Structure formats: C-alpha cells, structure tokens
Amino acid sequence: MDKKIVFSAVQPSGIPTIGNYVGSIKNWVNMQDEYNCIYSLADLHTLTVKQIPAELRQRSYELLALYLAAGLDPNKSVIFAQSHVPAHAELTWILNTVTYPGELQRMTQFKDKSSRHAENVNMGLLDYPVLMAADILLYGTDFVPVGADQKQHLEITRDLAIRFNNRYSQTFTVPEPLIPKVGAKVMSLQDPEKKMSKSDENPNAYISMNDSTDDIIRKFKRAVTDSEACIKFDEENKKGISNLLTIYSLFSGMTIPEAEKQFEGVGYGEFKLAVGEQVANVLQPITAEKNRILSDKAYLESVLKDGAEKANYLAHKMMRKVYKKVGLIQL
C-alpha cells in the first residue's frame, strides 16, 4: 500500500524551543517510517519581516543541523530549503488568482504581525497564507502535522485546493490536519497561560534548543508555580505545575499520572530541579550532535542539494499538471 504524504516546515527565524521540539521535530522523526515525509526550512516565509541576511543564512544551517541531530534521516525523508524550489513561488502566483483579499486580511497572523511590525506591513505578510498553501499543495500532501491551536492555518489551504479543483477539475489533494495524540502544548515558564515562544521578550519564559544544562536548570528553578505545595495535574487551577508535569511527561516518556505518583509529597523546588535535569539529559546529546554536524558544512550542503533535487522533481510534476489545467502552453 502506498504511504500517505506528510508535509511540514519550520521557519529559521530563531532557535526552536523545547515546545517546537516536542510539538514538531520529535513527532516528525517518529513519522518517517509510517509516511512519505517532506520537511522544509521555510526560509522564504522569514522575509515577511526584516532579516539580517548573514544571520538568516546561519540560522538556516543551524535549523538543518538540529533536524538531523534530532533524528530526521535524509534517506527516509525529503529535507530541503523552500527557496531552492522555485515552484513554491510559482504556485503561489497561480493560487493568488483564486484567493480573495478579504480572506487574507482576516487571517489572525496578518493582524498580529501587522500590529507588531507596523513599520513594515508588506504584501508578503498579507500573502503569507497563500505561499503556505503552495508549500503544502505542491507535493500532493495528505496530512499536515499541526497543534490543536493551529488548525485554522490549514483551513485556507483546504479552501484554496477545493476552489481550484472546482474551477479547473480535480488537481490538488485536500490535506487533513494530523494532530499528535499527546496534546504536546508546552506553555511559558513565566506565564503558563501563554504558549512557550522563541520570540518571548523574557528569556526565562522559554527553553531554547541551544540552552546549556546550567541555563535549563536555572530557568526551571525560576518557573512560575503556585503556593499550594501539591504536585497534581489541574490545568484550571494549577497551570504552572500542570505545564511542568506535561514537560516532564514528554521528556521522560512517563504518563502524567505516573509522574504525579513519582513526585507525591515532593517539594516544588525538588520537583522543578528534576524537570530541568530530565530536559537537560534529553537535550545534551542532541546539542552535541547538532554542533558536530554544524561544523561539517560540506555535509549540510550535500543534504540540501539532494533534498532540493528530490523536491524539485516532485514539484515540477505538480506544476506541469497545474499549468496545463489553467491553460498555459506546455514547454
């Protein structure tokens, strides 16, 4: 039986957090045997906000090295930079012709980034969801891994696929969300009402995949909890402790009830230290391997070149079909 196709991408716009790791990268690694996986560095997407070119290039290499260190295998998955496949931009133009300005102006991300980058509200920012739709539809994607809170990001892709198919006949697979069974939503260590984010102004609010063991333990020691001195999972009344139990569960492989039992009667200080040590123990070998891979530029270039060749082959097949459907002369 043919394997289903999974597509996902991450912007090299900063060092991923442990939330990105357990919510995306770790799941990607586990999917490689079950699906035909296509994973991209979404470097074109980063250009919607101002970038320092040399830093963007370096972050792209760092993200690729992290993918590989975490267990993504270029022999099992297609791993490539979005900008190395011109069809992403070409399909965006075609999809723009079936996209309505109003639906783009209503997108949460556009409203949010417009307010945060008022000095740079550009067409790329508005058109971002169409490029994202092109990323997904180019490869006949069946599933897109998303968190429960990101399902709306996939809706416009589905709408555009259906609209194009209705106008030009069946062309695109309408992708479905693939939501992880474990609700891997990691919250801020300083404000457990908010999702952990690499763009948080408070560096104590998130654990970066680049943090040292000392940094990790220090940040967990400072994590916001409550004054009840009881380690139990209660997302309504004990958000901080519930977040720490979730993180411990994700990094130890224990269920949350097992973790609650392990820490019964333990003080918050000891519990926070144990969570920090568990996270550090998992990240240490990944960080060491990432740094080793990062020092081998020739290997990184070869992975990108091989990935670009595979992705371009698949994308070219789709673009031939799309161009024929819309009435363009075939070369």
For 265, the token pair is 């009667």
How many CB atoms sit inside 10 A of residue 247's CB?
Answer: 26
DSSP per-residue codes, 200-250: -S-GGG--BTT--HHHHHHHHHT----SS-----BTTTBHHHHHHHHHHHH
Q: Per this entry, what is the length of the chain?
A: 331
Q: Which helix (H) or strand (E) holds 294?
A: helix 268-294
Radius of gyration of the chain from its Cα atoms, rounded to whole angstroms? 21
CA separation for the pair 150, 24 (Å, rounded): 12
CA separation for the pair 249, 282 (Å, rounded): 12
Residues with active-site annotation: 113, 195, 198
Name the residue with tokens 């639906």: 103
